[in-house]
Structures are given as C-alpha cells and as structure tokens.
C-alpha cells in the first residue's frame, strides 16, 4: 500500500460522493421527486442521526483499515483500496436520503450537502491516519 494508491482510491470515492450528492440535489431542485418529510422536528432529528453515524464511522473505519494493513496478507492492498473508496464515498450515501426526503428549502439542501461534504473529512482522515509505505503496529 503506497501513498499514491491511498490518494487514488480516496479521490475515486470523493468523485463518486460528489456525483451522487449533486445528482440528488439536481433531482430535488428540478421537482422530479416529491418531498416526503415536512415536519421540522423529524427533519432535524434525521439530520442529527445521519450526522452522528457519519462522524462515528470515521474512527471505526480508520482503525479497521489499519488492522487490514497490519495483516500479513499480500493481497490486502486490494481490500484496502476498495474499503478506502467505499468509506469515503459512503458519506454521500448518508446525504442522499436526507436530500431526497427532506430537501424542501435551501437550508435543508445545504444541510444535505454538508452531509455529503463529510467525504472530504473522511478523505483527509485517511491521508493523516493511514500513511502509505509503512507497517502498522497496533
């Protein structure tokens, strides 16, 4: 596992997250999809729940990827690439239902975009906590 492969897999996940988030924003703003959740208490509860899970997943996934890298399997690098891509992309998976179900105003669309933008934080976390070309000791 090298720094270049981490960056490449991370950029792939980041690109996918951007595409999915923008696609959801376009679908909602164009009116192709009806807004199902109108109650502000339910909307903000859903936002906080998705935000909590998206942030709580960061240390768990970083630790898991480090454990995979610490193993002696020479084919683990492929699993790390795939896991890193999915981990970074998954922030948009949290953002998509919020945008599609509750995106009735600019503020709610911005909140959904913020959930999708957490993929940048995830990308940065892999660059900081998963340095390439090293053996991890846990």
Q: What string of pLDDT tens digits covers the 138 residues of the chain?
A: 688 888 999 999 999 999 999 999 999 999 898 989 999 999 999 999 999 999 999 999 999 999 988 887 888 889 999 999 999 999 999 999 999 999 889 999 999 999 999 999 999 999 998 866 654 444
Distance (Å, whole) CA 69 – CA 94:
26
**What pTM was estimated for this model as a whole?**
0.88
Task: List helix spans (H) across 1-138.
Answer: 3-30, 40-70, 76-102, 106-129
Contact criterion met (CB below 8 Å) for 77 and 5: yes
- Four-CA torsion 58, 112, 93, 87, nearest 10 degrees: -20
Contact criterion met (CB below 8 Å) for 33 and 27: yes
> pLDDT value at position 7?
93
């Amino acid at each position: 596992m090298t720094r270049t492969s981490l960056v490449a897999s991370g950029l792939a996940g980041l690109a996918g997250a951007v595409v999915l988030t923008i696609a959801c924003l376009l679908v909602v703003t164009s009116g192709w999809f009806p807004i199902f959740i109108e109650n502000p208490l339910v909307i903000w509860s859903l936002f906080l729940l998705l935000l909590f899970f998206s942030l709580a997943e960061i240390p768990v996934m970083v630790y898991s990827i480090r454990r995979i890298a610490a193993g002696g399997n020479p084919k683990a690098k492929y699993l790390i690439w795939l896991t890193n891509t999915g981990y970074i992309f998954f922030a948009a998976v949290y953002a998509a239902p919020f945008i599609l179900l509750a995106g009735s105003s600019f503020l709610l669309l911005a909140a959904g975009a913020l959930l999708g933008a957490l993929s940048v934080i995830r990308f940065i976390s892999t660059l900081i906590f998963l340095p390439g070309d090293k053996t991890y000791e846990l």
